[in-house]
Structure 1
Amino acid sequence: MDKDTTRRSFMKKSTAVAAGAALTSTIARTAHAQGSDEIKIALIGCGGRGSGASQNIFNTKGNVKLVAMADAFQNKISSAHASLSRKNAAKIDCPPERQFAGFDGYKKAIDSDCDLVIIATPPGFKPQQFEYAVQQGKHVFCEKPVASDAPGVRRFLDAVEESKKKKLMVGIGLQRRHEPMYMQAIDRIHEGAIGDVLALRVYWNGGGIWYRNRQEDHSEMGFQTNNWYHFNWLSGDQICEQHIHNLDVGCWVKGEYPVECNGMGGRGQRMDGDATKSQIFDHTFCEYTFSDGTKMFSQGRHLKGSWTHVAEYAHGTKGTADLSGGKIEGPNAWSFDKKLNPNGHQQEQHDLIEALMRGEIYNEGEYGAHSTFTAILGREACYSGKIVKWDDLLAGGKNLCPGIDSYTLDSDPPAMPGEDGKYPVPVPGQYVPYSDAWLEEQKQKKKRKKA
């Protein structure tokens, strides 16, 4: 992939159907099974976000029906099925024989008579699941982030290219892209409302996140998968799992992706410093640099008692924009009545289902992958304490979950505890963000160049 594709190629037209972003295809009602106008759905990942996305789809005007479900754990399938059925019984036709538990359950659900697949699993699993859905010719809504490491992003991008060839719908759960407040503010910035963008500030500062204690019947893989947020190979850390939203907005404003990043971070409060329970950081700070030298400054943290703030700001030669507040200050002042801004999680499903009903296809996979990689770039800069370049990391970043296609609940996960029970925690100044193979390749290139 050339540098333009991996970094600076930016499709403003891909923000949302409502903004005229749909790429119209000859595909029509025949996109659905046997030419019916019913849209059959398979849910992969039955946790809170998977159940939430399903409910959002049920709330649309579409003739939708949930026909298959899959999750690593049967109890999560059963719980989600019961909860969704209480409100949407007429829209659910998913008997036990189409409820698939285990790591390979996603294939069985995707192979069912479904048209649209919701992927709401831990990020480390998404590239293989998205790839399989595309291979089977299914439309996809995939929650963010779409991967936890560079190899996963590359795999996802390859599948995106295949989805375009097959004219498949790909929606990504970066819901701000579907909110009129953000869309109108960023349109104004692109039209010059704040002049040239000089700097960006983005924040996801909160108090903490859930933790699930180890269950007696869980293997090590089962424990980590059930407690996925706290393991880098599964979640990508807080900067990927949550802060991606703000980073995505910053890149959307700028119209490109950063060329490099340096950062810092650590674990001040996470599980009271207990590395036997979690390996992720609880605070990160990044300085992203774009191709023209413009900076984006990023804060992401989970620290109780600290300043909490989730927002994005753009500073220009003619003014300042508060994206999360829907305001522009300066000679081209503007404000959006936040009461009129729809719920983004709901709006993205209105857009997706209405587009399918009209026979239109749009594909958000590319910016979903690039925004995911922006977060990964920041994480690796914070973990290593070094300046990390986009192209180097995309080509040579570590594989956090090698062999993932063969994982079962009985497999050893890639992050095993040591003899002291502690999980490996990145140490800035010691952590290396690149694979051994890529480092050796660079070493050999230097030798050949000298020769």
Structure 2
Amino acid sequence: MQTPPDRRSFLKTTTAAAAGAALTSTIARSANAAGSDEIRFVLVGCGGRGTGAAAQIFNTKGNVKLVAVADAFAANAERALKSLSRGENESKVDVPPEQVFAGLDAYKAAIDVDADLVIIATPPGYKPQQFEYAVNKGRHIFMEKPVATDAAGVRRVLASVEESKKKELMVAIGLQRRHEPTYMETIARIHDGAIGDVISQQVYWNGGGIWYRNRTADQTEMAFQTNNWYHFNWVCGDQICEQHIHNLDVGCWVKGMYPVECNGMGGREQRMGGDASKSQIFDHTFCEYTFPDGTKMFSQGRHLAGGWNHVGEHVQGTKGTANPGGWIKGEKDWEFSGKKVNGHQQEQHDLIEALMRGEIYNEGEYGAHSTFTAILGREACYSGKVVKWDELLETGTELAPGIDDFTIDSEVPVSARPDENGLYPVPVPGKHNPFA
């Protein structure tokens, strides 16, 4: 579990997954409720992405029914349910009042409802225990990325992935580029040698700012941080985990392996005007990842207003170059000419159609490993040191010990606890210890 998978095993478990055939078998536990063709699902995490994923499941060809919702905050659960019940989707919602759950432990009650599929779209710090609970209950799962924020969470997810395989459960992860024909066909051609051996890559998620949710007078510190989760590392993982993971995942997919080490740099130039009483996270990172064969992947992640905005990936090979999102320049130039799809929608089409066929696939391993690639980069940028994959995965700092027992009134983790001046801990390169 501590060693990145080699190229052969990586490709074996990832290249066919998006087509719904990476791990095909009769589902031991029927995908259909009560002998019918209905697929009952519950939503855990009722923010924009969770609500969006549920709506996209409604858009599939499946006979689907939403039967429970859960969120840390009752207002979020009610708002999502109201939104999802509108118009022609009203008939696809069967959520009685007693199956609308709120609180940090609400996921348990929702997953306990008789259902086939669980959507987990909560802040990433909470996902490992929710995923574990769903696997233990024998549910099929769609879980948004990233799947954790620290090494302990990734280890927990990987252990649950192994259990999900034993139970022949569907595990789909929200790295939607793996379901987009533009990426699938381009990367297949790269793997077939269209640009020779891949020798370097550059991956980017450079944009402007993100949302911020001001504190309200009635909020506990835990409620504030959970509601404003993007700005606290224990629950978000920083921008490199929350958004840039998509590009890092593509780079590792292209290479057919995961990095063994990373060094990086980063800081806070614009984040909240430098006000450490509002946010912990950096607004820029730069990483140099090294793969087992010595080749490099260079990464930029930014939230800087007025800067160069670019989200994408670029690959150099011994015989040409490529953009994994659709074109190759080499001995024979090529550009994708097929139908382009919305990846968020397509991943739900693939998921539901596979369940309807009685087939499963499992994206859990690459979801966890790509998440850890982002965590590795974050810790390299925070520390200013070369950080090794094996060492960090085995002994990296746990950001939120005891998270399973958190309530909305609990004390926040020490890693995010404000000091006497109301300032949150902010990593300082050269001083930050990834193994504290």
TM class, shorter-chain normalised? over 0.9
Deviation, 1:162, is 0.1
Q: 8 Å contact 1:8–1:257 — kept in the other structure?
A: no
Q: 8 Å contact 2:289–2:296 — kept in the other structure?
A: yes
Deviation, 1:413, is 0.8
Deviation, 1:5, is 4.4
Residue 119 of structure 2 aligns to a residue in which SS? strand
Q: AA paired with 1:51?
A: T
Deviation, 1:11, is 3.5
Partners in 2 of 1:120 and 1:197 — Cα distance?
Answer: 34
Partners in 1 of 2:268 and 2:20 — Cα distance?
Answer: 44
Matched, 1:125 2:126: yes
Matched, 1:210 2:183: no
Task: Give the equivalent residue in structure 2 for 1:368.
Answer: 367
Partners in 2 of 1:380 and 1:18 — Cα distance?
Answer: 30
Partners in 2 of 1:373 and 1:406 — Cα distance?
Answer: 24
> Cα deviations across residues 278-321 of structure 1 (Å, max 9, x unaligned)?
00000000000000100000000100000000000110011000
1:118-157 correspondence runs (5 A): 118-157=119-158
Deviation, 1:108, is 0.2
Q: 8 Å contact 2:17–2:363 — kept in the other structure?
A: no
Q: Percent identity?
A: 73
Task: Give the equivalent residue in structure 2 for 1:438.
Answer: none
Q: AA paired with 2:294?
A: G
User: Kindly tell me: are residues 20 and 121 of structure 1, through their superposed partners in 2, closer, same or farther at Cα, counting changes over 3 Å?
Assistant: closer
Task: Give the equivalent residue in structure 2 for 1:331.
Answer: 331
Partners in 2 of 1:399 and 1:318 — Cα distance?
Answer: 43
1:48-447 correspondence runs (5 A): 48-87=48-87, 88-324=89-325, 326-337=326-337, 340-414=339-413, 415-435=416-436
Backbone CA RMSD of aligned residues: 1.4
Partners in 2 of 1:366 and 1:34 — Cα distance?
Answer: 31
Residue 65 of structure 2 aligns to a residue in which SS? strand
Residue 361 of structure 1 aligns to a residue in which SS? coil
Residue 234 of structure 2 aligns to a residue in which SS? helix
Residue 341 of structure 2 aligns to a residue in which SS? coil
| Residues paired across the two proteins, number | 433
Partners in 2 of 1:337 and 1:301 — Cα distance?
Answer: 31
Runs of 5+ unmatched residues, structure 2 = none
Residue 433 of structure 1 aligns to a residue in which SS? coil
Q: AA paired with 1:61?
A: K
Judge which range, 15-24 or 99-108, deviates more.
15-24
Partners in 2 of 1:6 and 1:433 — Cα distance?
Answer: 25
> Cα deviations across residues 185-222 of structure 1 (Å, max 9, x unaligned)?
00000000000101010000000100000011210000
Residue 208 of structure 1 aligns to a residue in which SS? coil
Q: 8 Å contact 2:24–2:360 — kept in the other structure?
A: yes
Q: AA paired with 2:392?
A: L
Q: AA paired with 1:377?
A: L
Residue 157 of structure 1 aligns to a residue in which SS? helix
Residue 53 of structure 1 aligns to a residue in which SS? helix
Partners in 1 of 2:94 and 2:52 — Cα distance?
Answer: 18
TM norm structure 1:
0.94
Partners in 2 of 1:8 and 1:271 — Cα distance?
Answer: 44
Partners in 2 of 1:17 and 1:99 — Cα distance?
Answer: 33
Q: 8 Å contact 1:119–1:129 — kept in the other structure?
A: yes
Q: AA paired with 1:401?
A: A
Partners in 2 of 1:6 and 1:104 — Cα distance?
Answer: 38
Q: AA paired with 1:376?
A: I
Deviation, 1:31, is 2.5
Partners in 1 of 2:390 and 2:18 — Cα distance?
Answer: 33
Partners in 1 of 2:8 and 2:110 — Cα distance?
Answer: 36
